[in-house]
C-alpha cells in the first residue's frame, strides 16, 4: 500500500495508526486466541496484509475466534481457494477510468481514487487487488484530477474514495479540497471512509472545520458492518459534523458470519441513527477473488431484507444493491 511520506507523523491519530496490528500472530495472542497461525494464513496475509488499529481490535470479543469484527480483518486460508466467478476486478473499475485517478460510471458524479492506503484491511474489499501504484492521484498537488474535472462541467459531485481518503493528512486533503472548490461547476463533495469507525481520533478539529467551511455541499459516507462498531467514542467523534449539518450516511456489505442476520442488521441501523448516521446502501458482496467465503446468496439476501423491512421504519432500511458493471446505477436486488 502506498501511503504518504512518514515524516509527517505528528498528529495523535497518525501515531495510533502507526501502532496498529500488522501481524496475525500478534493479534491472536492479544485477543487470547491460540497463536495457531498456519502457513496458509501467512500466505493470505502475504497477498493482502493484515492491518487493524488497536482501537478496533479492542472492540473484538476476547477469546472468540468467530467474533464478527475479527472475521472482517483476519487473513484466513479460505482466501487462497480460487472460486470460479471471483475475479480481481469484480466491479469493472479498470474500464471506467477517465484519467487523473478518476473513475466514472454514473451520470453527474465521479469517484477519485485518492490513495491506496487504508487504516484497516477488510478481507472482503472489492479493491483488494486494485493497482493503486499506477493510478493514485496524490502526486503533484492533485494537478491531474483537477485538470480532468475542469474539462467536465457535467460532473457536479466528486466522491473521494480509495483506499481511504481520510488516511491522507489534513494538509493534503486541504490542498485537494481547495482545488475542487475552485472548479465553479462542482457542487457536491462526498467522502467515503471507514477511518472514523476504526480510528475515531481521525476526526480532528482541522478536518471538521475544513469540511464544514467548504463552499461545496459535503456529505460523509461511512462504512460500518456490525452494530458493535458503533461506539460512544464514534458518536463523540461524529457529533461536531452532525452539529454542522453535514449529512452522514452508512454503507455496509452483507457478509456471511458477520451481519447476515436480521437482528444484527436492525440493531446496526438503530445504533447508526443514534449517532446521526442514516443507512444508505447494503451491498451484496462483489465477487472479488479471495472473498467467496463471505457470500450470501441473492435469495437469502432478499429474505433478510424483507425481514429487516418488517422490523424497522422505512428510513432505517438501507437499499439492498449490487454493483453490476455496465449499469447506470447500483442495481436494487
- List residues near ligand SF4 by CB under 6 A: 118, 120-122, 125, 127, 162-164, 194, 223
Question: Is the sign of the CA dihedral 202, 203, 207, 211 positive or negative?
Answer: positive
Q: How far is CA 96 from the centre of its chain?
A: 20
Which residue, 50 or 246, is less far from ligand PLP as judged by CB?
Answer: 246
For ligand SF4, the closer CB: 128 or 271: 128
One residue of 61, 109, 187, 309 binding ligand PLP per CB under 6 A: 109
Residue closer to ligand SF4 by CB (options 169, 262) is 169
CB of residue 17 to ligand SF4, shortest distance in Å: 13
Query: What distance in Å separates the CA atoms of residue 141 and residue 22, rounded to the nearest whole number?
Result: 30
Q: Does 159 bind ligand PLP (CB under 6 A)?
A: yes
Burial of 313 (0-12, 13-18, 19+ CB in 10 A): exposed
- For 197, list phi and psi in degrees, rounded to 5: -75, -40
C-beta separation of 252 from 269 below 8 A: no
Scanning 30-38, 106-114, 201-209, 302-310 for contacts with ligand PLP by CB under 6 A, the matching segment is 106-114
Per rule CB under 6 A, is residue 330 in the interface with ligand PLP? yes
Cβ proximity to ligand PLP: between 59 and 320 the closer is 320
Residues with Cβ < 8 Å from 167, sequence gap 6 or more? 3, 4, 17, 115, 117, 118, 119, 195
Among 94, 107, 329, 331, binds ligand PLP (CB under 6 A): 329
**Residue 232, burial from CB neighbour count under 10 angstroms (0-12, 13-18, 19+):** exposed
Q: If contact means CB under 5 to 8 A according to the sort of partner, which of ligand PLP, ligand SF4, none does residue 330 touch?
A: ligand PLP
| Chosen from ligand PLP, ligand SF4, none, partner binding at 118 (C-beta under 5 to 8 Å by type) | ligand SF4
User: Between 30 and 106, whose beta carbon lies closer to ligand PLP?
Assistant: 106
Minimal distance in Å, beta carbon 252 to ligand SF4? 11
Spell out where the chain has E strands.
Answer: 97-99, 102-103, 109-113, 157-161, 188-193, 217-223, 247-253, 278-283, 319-322, 331-332
Per CB under 6 A, which region of 22-30, 63-71, 102-110, 309-317 contacts ligand PLP? Answer: 102-110
C-alpha grid cell, residue 293: 467465503
Q: How far, in Å, CA of 60 to CA of 268, rounded?
A: 16
State the residues that interact with ligand PLP by CB under 6 A. Answer: 103, 105-106, 109, 111, 159, 329-330
Amino acid at each position: 500500500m502506498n501511503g504518504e511520506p512518514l515524516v509527517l507523523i505528528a498528529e495523535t491519530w497518525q501515531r495510533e495508526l502507526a501502532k496498529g496490528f500488522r501481524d496475525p500472530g500478534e493479534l491472536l495472542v492479544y485477543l487470547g486466541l491460540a497463536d495457531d497461525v498456519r502457513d496458509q494464513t501467512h500466505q493470505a496475509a502475504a497477498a493482502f496484509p493484515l492491518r487493524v488499529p488497536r482501537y478496533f481490535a479492542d472492540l473484538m470479543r476476547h477469546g472468540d475466534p468467530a467474533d464478527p469484527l475479527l472475521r472482517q480483518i483476519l487473513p484466513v486460508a479460505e482466501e487462497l481457494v480460487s472460486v470460479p466467478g471471483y475475479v480481481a476486478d469484480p466491479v469493472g473499475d479498470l474500464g471506467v477510468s477517465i484519467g487523473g485517478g478518476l473513475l466514472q460510471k454514473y451520470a453527474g458524479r465521479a469517484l477519485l481514487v485518492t490513495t491506496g492506503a487504508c487504516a484497516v484491511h477488510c478481507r472482503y474489499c472489492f479493491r483488494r487487488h486494485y493497482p493503486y501504484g499506477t493510478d493514485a492521484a496524490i502526486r503533484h498537488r492533485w494537478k491531474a484530477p483537477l485538470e480532468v474535472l475542469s474539462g467536465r462541467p457535467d460532473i457536479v459531485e466528486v466522491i473521494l474514495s480509495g483506499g481511504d481518503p481520510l488516511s491522507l493528512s489534513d494538509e493534503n486533503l486541504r490542498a485537494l479540497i481547495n482545488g475542487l472548490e475552485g472548479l465553479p461547476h462542482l457542487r457536491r463533495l462526498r467522502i467515503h471512509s471507514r477511518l472514523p469507525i476504526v480510528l475515531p481520533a481521525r476526526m480532528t478539529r482541522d478536518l471538521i472545520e475544513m469540511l464544514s467551511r467548504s463552499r461545496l455541499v459535503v456529505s460523509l459516507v461511512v462504512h460500518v458492518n456490525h452494530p458493535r462498531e458503533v461506539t460512544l467514542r464514534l458518536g463523540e467523534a461524529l457529533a461536531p459534523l452532525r452539529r454542522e449539518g453535514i449529512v452522514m450516511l452508512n454503507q455496509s456489505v452483507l457478509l456471511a458470519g458477520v451481519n447476515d442476520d436480521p437482528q444484527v442488521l436492525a440493531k446496526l441501523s438503530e445504533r447508526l441513527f443514534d449517532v446521526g448516521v442514516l443507512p444508505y446502501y447494503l451491498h451484496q458482496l462483489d465477487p472479488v477473488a479471495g472473498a467467496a467465503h463471505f457470500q450470501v446468496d441473492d435469495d437469502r439476501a432478499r429474505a433478510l431484507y424483507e425481514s429487516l423491512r418488517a422490523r424497522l421504519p422505512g428510513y432505517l432500511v438501507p437499499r439492498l444493491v449490487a454493483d453490476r458493471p455496465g449499469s447506470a446505477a447500483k442495481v436494487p436486488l
